[in-house]
């Protein structure tokens, strides 16, 4: 999908002086070329409110992967694509290097924005038949144990079919975007971001034969907490947590509309994997 630029929202990492200064430089640079832009700090609901009150059709996010993930969750369902400018260390989600932002924005103005839809996840926690918690995730939904080094007991279903019981440190449900995060550390597969699938990967399973699964985007996963003695938590994108109780059922499925990422040029996903060390060339 290709779109022309109307107005840009520039989101800066919270409390990051370098990001704030760069955001203002970008705003002035865009204004000098006749394009409206607004700078907001990534705090609270600032991004959601700014999107609702402005006719923007691109969000430039200045920060590392954590900032990009936080903003991306707030943009789910908004129809506004995101373009990351890397101010962090890994920067796997970012398209633009902070040192080359002017050249990148020049390409944006001359060629417009190519938008790529990626699968995102929505989840809800059911307790005694009622929904007590819900949200979305760009990278992953993780169910894991608390501070005690004990395995937890989970029961898994896909649709109406029971997969079985899992005894493990936890479970990672990952999008293709999140496949290079926590999931790959637990031996989950790398998944091309253009595929509309998600993965289910046990964390340190104990006496269990459940291997990592790749499920179609239309599948609905249900995970029931069977543990009555251990602390169990649900986290989304590794940033927000929620305490689960025995008997809770976590329903995970594809988020409507997915997540929109903007690209400036066709970058090789495989070259990116090599550059970030996920694939090592033995030649």
Place of tokens 């003695």: 229
d(CA 114, CA 15): 30
pLDDT of residue 265: 65
Catalytic residues: 65
Q: Is 185 annotated as a binding residue?
A: yes
Tell me, rounded to whole angstroms, the distance of Cα 22 from its chain centroid. Answer: 24
pLDDT of residue 283: 56
pTM recorded for the entire structure: 0.90
Paired tokens of 56: 């923007």
Q: 261 exposed, middle or buried (CB, 10 Å; 0-12, 13-18, 19+)?
A: buried
Q: Is 111 annotated as a binding residue?
A: no
Tens-binned pLDDT, residue by residue, of the chain (283 aa): 666 677 899 999 988 899 999 999 999 999 999 888 999 999 877 787 778 767 788 999 999 888 999 999 999 988 899 999 988 766 678 888 888 899 888 888 887 778 889 999 999 999 999 999 999 999 999 999 877 668 899 999 999 999 999 999 999 999 999 999 999 999 999 999 999 999 999 999 987 778 899 999 999 999 999 987 778 999 999 988 999 999 999 999 999 989 999 887 655 778 778 877 787 776 5
Q: Is 180 annotated as a binding residue?
A: yes
Q: Is 160 annotated as a binding residue?
A: no
pLDDT of residue 179: 94
Smallest CA-to-CA distance from 189 within 234, 270, 200 is with 200
19 contact partners, CB below 8 Å, separation of at least 6: 12, 13, 62, 63, 87
Paired tokens of 18: 């370098």
At residue 178, the 3 state secondary structure works out as helix
pLDDT of residue 276: 74
Query: 151-189: string of b/e by CB count within 10 Å (b at 16+)?
Result: bbbbebbeeeeeeeebbbbbbbbbbbbbbbbbbbebebe
Place of tokens 């059709």: 57
Smallest CA-to-CA distance from 84 within 70, 64, 102 is with 64
d(CA 81, CA 180): 21
Q: How many CB atoms are closer than 10 A to CB 70?
A: 21
Q: Is 155 annotated as a binding residue?
A: no
Q: Is 181 annotated as a binding residue?
A: yes
At residue 270, the 3 state secondary structure works out as helix
3-state secondary structure 37-89: EEEEECCCCHHHHHHHHCCCCEEEEEECHHHHHHHHHHHCCCCCCEEEEECCC
Q: How many CB atoms are closer than 10 A to CB 29?
A: 15
């Amino acid at each position: 999908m290709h779109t022309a630029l109307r107005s840009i929202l520039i989101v800066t990492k919270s409390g990051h002086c370098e990001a704030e200064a760069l955001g203002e430089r970008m705003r002035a640079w865009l204004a000098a070329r006749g394009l409206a832009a607004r700078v907001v700090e990534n705090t609270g609901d600032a991004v959601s409110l700014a999107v609702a009150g402005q006719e923007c059709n691109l969000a430039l996010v200045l920060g590392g992967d954590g900032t990009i993930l936080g903003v991306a969750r707030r943009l789910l369902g908004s129809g506004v694509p995101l373009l990351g400018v890397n101010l962090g260390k890994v920067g796997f989600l970012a398209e633009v290097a902070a040192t080359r932002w002017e050249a990148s924005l020049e390409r944006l103005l001359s060629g417009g924005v190519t938008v790529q839809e990626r699968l995102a996840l929505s989840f809800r926690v059911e307790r005694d038949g009622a929904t007590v918690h819900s949200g979305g995730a760009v990278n992953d939904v993780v169910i894991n144990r608390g501070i005690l080094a004990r395995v937890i007991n989970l029961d898994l279903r896909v649709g109406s079919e029971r997969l079985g019981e899992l005894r493990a440190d936890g479970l990672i449900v990952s999008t293709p975007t999140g496949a290079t995060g926590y999931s790959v550390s637990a031996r989950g597969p790398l998944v091309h971001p253009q595929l509309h699938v998600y993965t289910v990967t046990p964390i340190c399973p104990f006496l269990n034969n459940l291997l990592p699964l790749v499920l179609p985007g239309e599948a609905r996963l249900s995970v029931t907490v069977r543990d009555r003695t251990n602390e169990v938590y649900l986290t989304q994108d590794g940033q927000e947590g929620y305490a689960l109780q025995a008997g809770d059922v976590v329903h995970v499925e594809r988020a409507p509309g997915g997540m929109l990422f903007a690209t400036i040029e066709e970058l090789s996903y495989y070259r990116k994997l090599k550059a970030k060390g996920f694939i090592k060339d033995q030649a």
